[in-house]
């Protein structure tokens, strides 16, 4: 009964959200374009995402685990697990199928590997629990959209991106290749699964081989020392938050190539920024460390950013270092490294304004967030 209630609540919310910006075009058994019939068809036949668990990796050598609370918006703690090799964890990702989670252990130059309990969300270290990262000081980590490959950026000794294949049964990683590049900080794969974008001395785009996962044909777009690279939900624009305290804006063509849109916007926070958006791709949120605040922007039809009516909001803690949105677009989470907590915000689907709902304690110095989502009918 509770699952049905959650399901219908999410579907209704999503319809109301999308109806603000898009016309209703539903292929259904309905005739005559009746809107109520179209809504019913949407509810019956649409497959929608729901977020279930949130994970925060900590420099205190652990991963904090939370259950998504769709009522209060504030995640419920379900405990923590230690870093298998005992080192500080700097980046974390849940592969798209939601079976395994991986985190970079920089002091030990390894990737920690976990299995996700599908019912409780609890993480259990695999055996063996770590794999060599392919270089020293691994930080950035991401997964391809098919759930076959993991990419890890290493910053010392071998400076580049290591390509790992995921064993679909055990979750174990096997390194299949490596691409040399300038010092990588953040990695992200676009929704088409054809391009990987790297934050380094610039935004670097690689083409992903769909069979091997290997990266090729790097091309750069100017951006001073990006800390995060974000592809908006419409796949038309890419944004980079930089050490200089600015957000760079790029237009993304159908191949994934980038073109600068306009002059970067200044956030007034350094370093900047960890980036996220609402579900519709109408609003962008840039989370900076000093001051620890969220800059809120509307995304124009050309991708340009305009500050909202209330342009900034404090993060509910200090030294914000990571952000992630849950899958229905109702809530945004921020990891506050200095105050050791996770803050939860509600997202107004019409205005884009955020409202702080509350915080929950984390491990010492949280510096990464990953949300586990699944699909329901």
User: pLDDT tens across 315-348, in order?
Assistant: 999 999 999 999 899 999 999 999 999 999 999 9
For the segment 164-177, the average pLDDT, to the nearest whole number, is 97
- Spatial separation of the C-alpha atoms in residues 198 and 195, rounded to whole Å: 10
Question: For residue 223, is pLDDT > 60?
Answer: yes
131 Cβ contact partners less than 8 Å away, ≥ 6 residues apart: 110, 111, 113, 164, 172, 173, 174, 175
Q: Residue 181: what pLDDT?
A: 80
Mean pLDDT of the chain: 88
Between residues 111 and 376, the one the model is more confident about: 111
Q: In this predicted structure, which of 1-10, 226-235, 282-291 has the lowest mean pLDDT?
A: 1-10
For the segment 286-295, the average pLDDT, to the nearest whole number, is 94
Q: Where are the domains of the chain?
A: 1-46, 83-221, 228-365
Q: Which CATH number fits domain 83-221: 2.130.10.10, 3.30.360.10, 2.40.50.100, 1.10.3720.10?
A: 2.130.10.10
Q: What is the CATH number of domain 228-365?
A: 2.130.10.10
- Spatial separation of the C-alpha atoms in residues 279 and 261, rounded to whole Å: 22
Between residues 20 and 78, the one the model is more confident about: 78
Task: Judge whether 83-221 and 228-365 match in fold.
Answer: yes
Check residue 14 and give left, alpha or beta (phi > 0: left; psi -120 to 50: alpha).
Answer: alpha
Q: According to DSSP H, which parts of the chain are helical?
A: 2-19, 35-45
pLDDT band at 244 (very low <50, low <70, confident <90, very high): confident
């Amino acid at each position: 009964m509770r699952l049905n209630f959650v399901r219908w609540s999410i579907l209704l919310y999503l319809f109301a959200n999308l109806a603000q910006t898009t016309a209703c075009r539903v292929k259904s058994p309905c005739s005559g374009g009746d809107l109520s019939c179209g809504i019913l068809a949407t509810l019956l036949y649409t497959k929608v995402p729901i977020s279930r668990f949130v994970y925060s990796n900590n420099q205190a050598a652990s991963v904090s685990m939370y259950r998504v609370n769709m009522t209060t918006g504030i995640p419920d703690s379900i405990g923590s697990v230690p870093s298998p090799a005992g080192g500080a964890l700097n980046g974390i990702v849940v592969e798209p199928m939601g079976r395994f989670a991986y985190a970079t252990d920089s002091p030990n130059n390894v990737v920690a590997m976990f299995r996700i309990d599908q019912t409780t969300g609890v993480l259990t270290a695999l055996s063996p629990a770590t794999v060599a990262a392919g270089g020293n000081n691994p930080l950035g980590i991401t997964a391809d959209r098919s759930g076959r490959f993991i990419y890890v950026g290493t910053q010392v000794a071998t400076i580049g991106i290591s390509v790992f294949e995921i064993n679909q049964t055990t979750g174990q990683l096997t390194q299949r290749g490596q691409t040399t590049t300038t010092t990588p900080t953040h990695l992200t794969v676009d929704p088409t699964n054809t391009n990987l974008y790297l934050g380094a001395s610039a935004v670097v785009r690689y083409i992903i081989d769909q069979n091997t996962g290997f990266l090729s044909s790097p091309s750069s777009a100017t951006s001073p020392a990006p800390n995060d690279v974000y592809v908006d939900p419409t796949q038309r624009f890419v944004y980079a938050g930089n050490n200089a305290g600015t957000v760079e804006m790029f237009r993304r063509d159908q191949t994934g190539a980038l073109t600068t849109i306009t002059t970067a916007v200044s956030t007034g926070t350094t370093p900047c920024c960890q980036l996220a958006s609402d579900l519709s791709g109408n609003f962008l949120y840039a989370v900076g460390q000093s001051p620890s605040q969220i800059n809120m922007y509307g995304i124009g039809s050309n991708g340009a950013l305009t500050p909202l009516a209330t342009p900034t909001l404090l993060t509910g803690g200090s030294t914000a270092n990571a952000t992630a949105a849950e899958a229905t677009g109702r809530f945004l989470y921020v990891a506050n490294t200095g105050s050791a907590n996770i803050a939860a915000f509600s997202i107004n689907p019409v205005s884009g304004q955020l409202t702080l709902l509350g915080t929950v304690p984390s491990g010492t110095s949280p510096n990464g967030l990953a949300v586990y989502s699944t699909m329901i009918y």
